[in-house]
Structure 1
Amino acid sequence: MFSKACEYAIKATIYIAQQTNQERRANVKEVAKSVNAPEAFTAKILQQLCRANILESVRGKQGGFVFPTATQKQIKIYDVVELIDGDGLFTNCGLGLHKCSSENPCPVHDDFKIVRDNLVAMTQKFSFYDLALKTENGLVWLK
């Protein structure tokens, strides 16, 4: 459903939130390993997240990436999906038709609208703070 880049971005952001909550910074190599992604690809994704002011990058020997707790509580999965993949998953036709609408529906329009609406609700429901807490408590896993 999400692109590979988006999946990596979501998992990396959760991982960095966990590290930040434990008062640690995460470097690119560590993040890439934790989400099972190529290091160079991970670096590009993290750069995008920093440019969007979701993550912060600290340079130097003790540097790395952090995800401030206040920001974790505001940023939802939806925000990362929209940044990496755009909003097409939330707005486009399920069959990829350009003129699909309520007035001019495709054969799966009504059913896909329900799926799309549920996906929007789910991605807007959870903040990264919520997700980091769930994984830290062992309620869910990233791998």
Structure 2
Amino acid sequence: MFSKACEYGIRASIFIATKSSQGIRVGIKDVAKEIDSPEPFTAKIMQILTKSGIIDSSKGVGGGFEVSNDAVKSIKLIQIVDAIDGDNIYKGCGIGLKECSEIHPCPVHNEFKQIRELLLAMLTKTTLQELALGVKSGDFFLKTLNKSE
């Protein structure tokens, strides 16, 4: 549903927020490893998230990525999705037609419209803090566990 970049961006934001809540800044290598993403691709995603004001970045010794305690409470999942994928996922046609509307619907228009509305509602109400707290508590996870784990 989301692009691979967006999936990684969401995971990276959650990971960084989780670490930030512990007062820890994380470097690009740690982010890439945790979200199981190639480091160069992760760096591009982090650049987008930083330019969008979702993630803070500081250079030098002790630098890295973080999210302030105030920001993590107000950042909504929709901001991450919009920064990376734009709004097409909850506005565009379910099968990718350029022209799809109530007047000229595609074959999946009515069903997909309901899904888009539910997705938009979830993205709009879910905060980065909620997701980070879920990971921190162990209710959610960011990585697939190996069978031996």
Which range, TM-score by smaller chain?
Answer: over 0.9
Which secondary structure does the structure 1 equivalent of 2:79 belong to?
helix
User: What aligned pairs does 1:49-128 form with structure 2 within 5 A after superposition?
Assistant: 49-128=49-128
In the superposition, the TM-score normalised over structure 1's length comes to 0.97
- Deviation digits for residues 4-60 of structure 1, max 9, x if unmatched? 110100000000001100000000000000000011111111111111111111111
The count of corresponding residues between Structure 1 and Structure 2 is: 143
Q: How many angstroms does 1:86 deviate by?
A: 1.0
Q: How many angstroms does 1:87 deviate by?
A: 0.7
Gaps in structure 2 of 5+ consecutive residues: 144-149
Letter in 1 for 2:138: G
Q: How far apart in 2 are the matches of 1:10 and 1:95?
A: 24
Deviates more, 1:68-77 or 1:7-16: 68-77
Aligned to 1:3: 3
Which secondary structure does the structure 1 equivalent of 2:57 belong to?
strand
Q: How many angstroms does 1:72 deviate by?
A: 1.1
Q: How far apart in 1 are the matches of 2:7 and 2:99?
A: 29
Indicate yes or no: 2:27 matched with 1:27. Answer: yes
Which runs of at least 4 in structure 1 moved beyond 6 Å after TM superposition? none
Q: How many angstroms does 1:127 deviate by?
A: 0.5
Letter in 2 for 1:142: L
How large is the RMSD of aligned CA atoms in angstroms? 0.9
**Percent identity of equivalent pairs:** 46
Aligned to 2:45: 45
Q: How far apart in 2 are the matches of 1:69 and 1:4?
A: 27
Aligned to 2:129: 129
Letter in 1 for 2:13: T
Q: How far apart in 1 are the matches of 2:71 and 2:132?
A: 13
Deviates more, 1:77-86 or 1:22-31: 77-86
